[in-house]
């Protein structure tokens, strides 16, 4: 069976789709998916064993100049590629008008969320099969239910699995243990204050715990340099693509992240992570997986979903450090000291 999956963006949403692929693949090992995804995230679907072909789309770039996109042939080339193969089913897991529009022109059934469950109700008019999922579910569980009903298998009652292999993505060379700071995000209100990042870095450096800091643009690089300035064992990484950042995440002992797609990638790679939530709440879109700690800001602006109101005044580095230490492996010297102390007590 061959299925065309439409899930274009964002980074976190793309990652949230992976456990549904795992469910489907286990229910039917012969199923294969082709995945339409934004060009900036096209590396990620390749990492899942059920994905055969990845078809990049550039809606974010195209909509800035629709006429040029039509004239230069990019839209035509995309349509040609997406129609090269025959499919048994199309699943729109995005639930937006822009994703539903991509399903036009196919002669096979299109499955998607019903009007009661979809993010943009108008998108449901493009679907042949309308699937309703319960309210209040985490995004991962919504998509798992969508796939199970669309493909006709019983949804497992266990936590979803991403099926990414951490050891394959990690840098294949000896490395000293380190913690990764995932500080970049889109909304101004999602940024944990730079002073708190600096405070946390200082405390980790004082305890001889190495820190690495990636960045993706000039603003993030400036912040990373300010956090690391003059601190031993705190390294600002060179600019990396998504695969390079994934390798750094995969090799980390743990991460500290704001509400960002890279935090979801840490969860997908089964890397322990302390995630910091200010304007958003983790109930429906928090990092999903083992070893994931969610710390929420308190105060009048917390959890309101506002892109600009500051709300992290109550969440300090000391609290983050306490939770982070619980995720870090106990050093062998500490274990040995504890065992020696127990022997002395026994004597």
Least confident of 7-16, 33-42, 52-61, 220-229: 52-61
Model confidence at 334: pLDDT above 90? no
Q: Please tell me the distance from the alpha carbon of residue 60 to that of residue 72, in angstroms, as a whole number.
A: 16
Average pLDDT for residues 157-167, to the nearest whole number? 94
Least confident of 2-6, 16-20, 328-332: 328-332
User: Nearest Cα to 92, choosing from 109, 79, 75?
Assistant: 109
Q: Please tell me the distance from the alpha carbon of residue 306 to that of residue 48, in angstroms, as a whole number.
A: 34
At 86-99, the pLDDT tens digits run 999 999 999 999 99
C-alpha R_g of the chain = 22
The 10 Å Cβ neighbour count of residue 333 is 8
pLDDT band (50, 70, 90) for residue 337: very low
Pick the CATH number of 2-151 from 3.40.50.2000, 2.60.120.620, 2.40.30.60, 1.10.3210.10: 3.40.50.2000
User: Any idea of the CA torsion for 96, 146, 258, 329, to the nearest 10 degrees?
Assistant: -160
pLDDT band (50, 70, 90) for residue 67: confident
Q: Please tell me the distance from the alpha carbon of residue 144 to that of residue 111, in angstroms, as a whole number.
A: 13
Domain range annotation of the chain: 2-151, 171-329
Could you give phi then psi for residue 36, rounded to 5 degrees? -90, 120
Could you give phi then psi for residue 2, rounded to 5 degrees? -120, 130
At 247-286, the pLDDT tens digits run 999 999 999 999 999 999 999 999 999 999 999 999 999 9
Q: Give the Cα-Cα-Cα angle 285, 286, 291 (nearest 5 degrees).
A: 150
Per the CB < 8 A criterion, the answer to whether 231 and 223 are in contact is no
At 288-316, the pLDDT tens digits run 999 999 999 998 999 999 999 999 999 99
The 10 Å Cβ neighbour count of residue 193 is 14
Could you give phi then psi for residue 52, rounded to 5 degrees? -95, -65
Average pLDDT for residues 126-155, to the nearest whole number? 96
Q: Locate tokens 């619980």: which residue?
A: 326
Per the CB < 8 A criterion, the answer to whether 127 and 100 are in contact is yes
Q: What pLDDT, on the 0 to 100 scale, is given for residue 172?
A: 63
Q: Region of 299 please: left (phi>0), alpha (psi -120 to 50) or beta.
A: left
Fold match between 2-151 and 171-329?
A: yes
Decide: residue 164, CB within 10 A, 0-12 exposed, 13-18 middle, 19+ buried.
buried
Strands in 110-113's sheet, in edge-to-edge order, are: 51-57, 32-38, 2-6, 89-92, 110-113, 129-131
Structure tokens, 44: 């990620």
Q: What pLDDT, on the 0 to 100 scale, is given for residue 338?
A: 41
- Please give the C-alpha separations between residue 307 and each of 126, 138, 280, in angstroms, as whole numbers: 31, 21, 9
Q: Locate tokens 């705190």: which residue?
A: 234
Cα end-to-end distance, the chain, whole Å: 67
Q: What pLDDT, on the 0 to 100 scale, is given for residue 343?
A: 45
Q: What percent of the chain has pLDDT over 90?
A: 83
pLDDT band (50, 70, 90) for residue 168: confident
Q: Are strands 292-296 and 234-236 parallel, antiparallel or unpaired?
A: unpaired
CATH architecture of the domain with residue range 171-329: 3-Layer(aba) Sandwich (3.40)
pTM (predicted TM-score)? 0.91
Q: What pLDDT, on the 0 to 100 scale, is given for residue 347?
A: 53
């Amino acid at each position: 069976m061959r299925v065309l999956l439409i899930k274009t963006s964002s980074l976190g949403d793309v990652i949230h789709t992976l456990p549904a692929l795992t469910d489907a693949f286990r229910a039917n090992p012969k199923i294969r998916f082709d995945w339409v995804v934004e060009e900036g995230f096209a590396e990620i679907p390749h990492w899942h064993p059920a994905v055969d072909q990845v078809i990049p789309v550039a809606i974010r770039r195209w909509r800035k100049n629709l006429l040029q996109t039509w004239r230069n042939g990019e839209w035509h080339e995309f349509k040609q590629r997406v129609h090269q193969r025959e499919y048994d089913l199309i699943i729109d897991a995005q639930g937006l008008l822009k994703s539903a529009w991509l399903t036009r022109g196919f002669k096979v059934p299109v499955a998607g969320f019903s009007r009661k469950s979809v993010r943009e109700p108008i998108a449901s008019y493009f679907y042949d099969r309308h699937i309703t999922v319960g309210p209040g579910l985490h995004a991962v569980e919504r998509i798992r239910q969508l796939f199970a009903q669309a493909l006709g298998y019983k949804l497992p009652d266990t936590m979803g699995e991403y099926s990414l292999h951490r050891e394959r993505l990690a840098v294949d060379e000896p490395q000293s243990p380190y913690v990764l700071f995932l500080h970049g995000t889109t909304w101004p209100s999602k940024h944990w204050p730079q002073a708190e990042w600096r405070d946390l870095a200082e405390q980790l450096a004082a305890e001889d715990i190495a820190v690495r800091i990636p960045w993706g643009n000039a603003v993030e690089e400036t912040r990373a340099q300010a956090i690391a300035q003059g601190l031993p064992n705190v390294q600002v990484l060179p600019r990396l693509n998504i695969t390079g950042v994934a390798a750094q995440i995969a090799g980390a002992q743990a991460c500290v992240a704001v509400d960002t797609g890279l935090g979801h990638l840490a969860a997908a790679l089964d890397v322990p992570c302390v995630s910091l939530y200010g304007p958003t709440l983790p109930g429906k879109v928090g990092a999903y997986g083992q070893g994931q700690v969610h710390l929420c800001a308190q105060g009048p602006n917390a959890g309101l979903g506002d892109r600009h109101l500051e709300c992290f005044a109550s969440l300090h580095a000391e609290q983050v450090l306490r939770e982070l230490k619980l995720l870090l492996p106990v050093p062998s010297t500490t274990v040995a000291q504890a065992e020696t102390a127990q022997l002395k007590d026994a004597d």
